[in-house]
A and B are shown apart, each in its own frame.
Chain A
Amino acid sequence: MAHIPLSVFSAVGEKFYDAFIYKDRWRYITDGFALTILITLVAVVIGTILGTIVALIKVAHTNNPKKFKISNAICNLYLTVIRGTPIMVQLLIVYSIVLLPFKGTSLNLYACFIAFGVNSGAYVAEIIRGGIQSIDHGQMEAGRSLGLSQRTTMIKIIFPQALKNVLPAIGNEFIALLKETAIAGYIGVQDMTKGGDIIRSITYDPYTSLLSIAAVYLLIVMLFTHLLTRLERRLRKGDQR
């Protein structure tokens, strides 16, 4: 167990005042929190859209290998590269290379949107693809035999069932994403982690600042897990006997 000096436990109020109240330092946390959530939400949207498109292309190609040959190859390249390199490196590449030609004040934030969104898309794609392929082939046949097109059957019959099955996995992916955004500070985005670290560097008290942001992360994750469980339960009503 790490050595914790007794002084941590004394003067808690004073430490708290120093870290958060004095000179409105709490704004580092709240502004950071807002950015962390913003980056996560934008990345979730990008990731879901990208992931769904990639998954659908891959499934369509698997069902009919003559279709989407080039798109499928691009998707495979995307999945391999994104899942084969660290998110940290991807973030630096997006910020320092991809966005190099652009000028502006919030480029580092945009870099976060792109890097985390594109990264998440690769993982979401594989989850959704697995979900679609786990649905019994008879469902597609039933839809098609009624005269529904491949597309309509996919949208109205296969996809809703697949989504329900993969919801826990997608939820976990987004929880992981939320925590991964903590590296945004590396390219100068003042997210919640960076905010906490700034307070630490001002107050020389790592305990209050860092443990506080850890608690906030934990709370968000717990809240999100709770919401996810409830949503799952609602979607599961078709399984009740």
Chain B
Amino acid sequence: MINVKNLQKTFHNAGGDVSVLNGIDQTIEKGEKVVIIGPSGSGKSTFLRCLNLLETPTGGEIWFQDTQVNSAKVNIDQLRQKMGMVFQHFNLFPHLTILKNITLAPVSLKLQTEEEATEKAMKLLERVGLADKAQSYPVQLSGGQKQRIAIVRALAMNPEVMLFDEPTSALDPEMVGEVLEVMKELADDGMTMVVVTHEMGFAREVATRVLFMDGGQVLEEGSPKEFFGNPKNPRLKDFLSKVLH
């Protein structure tokens, strides 16, 4: 479903060039739940953001269902409609009600009528237990509620893959659970997911494959059992010894 070939990304800053991704090759199949872990600055978020071209790769290729994502000819807006994304800081639209947050994209893009979109939004809200918040504004919600809405907003577009960029990192500890719960349900429904996270428990429980990134490369990957039970890369061993207590 997603094919990444020798992906490179270099940021050109005033202080010089910073090379964030140094050749990543990955194939993500339909239905897979890939969890990416690694220390800060390892390039895992940049990798994720390259997949839907929020960051433009400086080298290599990304393919999504027979279409090259990073080519000049691609209609990126159309591709992004099939790739939902959830951000660390939710990025809900503060000037719109929860319902409008969810229906804005499908209605603006004429994929659904106002009624269809509202009906679908209400169903999804029901599923995450927030139907009573439809007419609220984002500022009235807790962090965990906001992130659940953000997930619903992405789902309203009927995406074929969901990208999660540290979805629980900005949450109070007590709200992490409710968001992970929604993500687990999504995984059980068969959604293809790519998740950047620090939640090792989630990785262990939900992932079909775990990637460890550092220095802009994937240093190790494997099933959660293999990955956590028998890590081989010394950098990964060191990392796991620090995050698992």
What residues make up the interface of A, taking CB atoms closer than 8 Å to B?
A: 136, 138-139, 141-149, 152, 156-157, 160-161, 164, 237-241
| Given A240-B137, A240-B139: A147 in contact with B89 (beta carbons within 8 A) | no
- The answer to whether B77 touches A149 (Cβ under 8 A) is yes
| Cβ-defined partner of B105 (8 Å) among A147, A164, A238 | A147
- The answer to whether A139 touches B91 (Cβ under 8 A) is yes
Whole-angstrom distance from the CB of B163 to the nearest CB of chain A?
A: 8
Interface residues of B in 78-128 (CB under 8 A from A): 78-81, 83-85, 87, 89, 91-96, 104-105, 108-109
| Given A138-B89, A152-B108: A147 in contact with B137 (beta carbons within 8 A) | no
- The answer to whether B108 touches A239 (Cβ under 8 A) is no
Whole-angstrom distance from the CB of B15 to the nearest CB of chain A?
A: 19
Residues of A within 8 Å of B138, CB to CB, are 238
Among A156, A164, A237, the one with the most B-chain Cβ atoms within 10 Å of its Cβ is A156
| Cβ-defined partner of A146 (8 Å) among B89, B95, B137, B153 | B153
Q: CB of B50 within 8 A of chain A?
A: no
Whole-angstrom distance from the CB of A139 to the nearest CB of chain B?
A: 6
| Cβ-defined partner of B109 (8 Å) among A144, A148, A240 | A148
| Given A156-B104, A238-B139: A146 in contact with B93 (beta carbons within 8 A) | no
- The answer to whether A145 touches B85 (Cβ under 8 A) is yes
| Given A138-B87, A160-B95: A240 in contact with B54 (beta carbons within 8 A) | no
What residues make up the interface of B, taking CB atoms closer than 8 Å to A?
A: 52, 54, 77-81, 83-85, 87, 89, 91-96, 104-105, 108-109, 137-140, 153-154, 157
Residues of A within 8 Å of B78, CB to CB, are 147
- The answer to whether B108 touches A141 (Cβ under 8 A) is no
- Other A-B contacts than A143-B105, A145-B87, A240-B139, 5 sampled, CB-CB below 8 A, are A141-B87, A146-B154, A148-B109, A161-B94, A240-B140
- The answer to whether A146 touches B81 (Cβ under 8 A) is yes
A238 to B97, CA, bound (A): 8
Among A139, A146, A157, the one with the most B-chain Cβ atoms within 10 Å of its Cβ is A146
Residues of B within 8 Å of A238, CB to CB, are 94-96, 137-139
- The answer to whether A145 touches B93 (Cβ under 8 A) is no
- The answer to whether A147 touches B109 (Cβ under 8 A) is yes
Residues of B within 8 Å of A239, CB to CB, are 94, 137, 139
Interchain Cβ contacts under 8 Å between A and B, 20 examples: A138-B89, A138-B91, A139-B93, A141-B91, A142-B91, A143-B105, A145-B54, A145-B80, A145-B87, A147-B81, A147-B109, A147-B157, A156-B108, A157-B93, A237-B137, A238-B96, A238-B138, A239-B94, A240-B140, A241-B139
Residues of A within 8 Å of B54, CB to CB, are 141, 144-145
- The answer to whether A161 touches B81 (Cβ under 8 A) is no
Residues of A within 8 Å of B85, CB to CB, are 142, 145
Among A139, A142, A160, the one with the most B-chain Cβ atoms within 10 Å of its Cβ is A142
- The answer to whether B87 touches A164 (Cβ under 8 A) is no
- The answer to whether A147 touches B80 (Cβ under 8 A) is yes
Closest B residue to A152 by beta carbon equals B108
Whole-angstrom distance from the CB of A154 to the nearest CB of chain B?
A: 12
A164 to B92, CA, bound (A): 17
| Given A157-B93, A161-B94, A238-B94: A144 in contact with B80 (beta carbons within 8 A) | yes
Residues of B within 8 Å of A142, CB to CB, are 85, 87, 91-93
Residues of B within 8 Å of A164, CB to CB, are 95
Residues of A within 8 Å of B91, CB to CB, are 136, 138-139, 141-142
Residues of A within 8 Å of B104, CB to CB, are 146, 148, 156-157
- The answer to whether A146 touches B157 (Cβ under 8 A) is yes
Among A145, A149, A241, the one with the most B-chain Cβ atoms within 10 Å of its Cβ is A145
Residues of B within 8 Å of A161, CB to CB, are 93-95
Nearest 6 A/B pairs, CB to CB: A147-B81, A142-B91, A146-B105, A145-B85, A138-B91, A147-B80
A240 to B93, CA, bound (A): 14
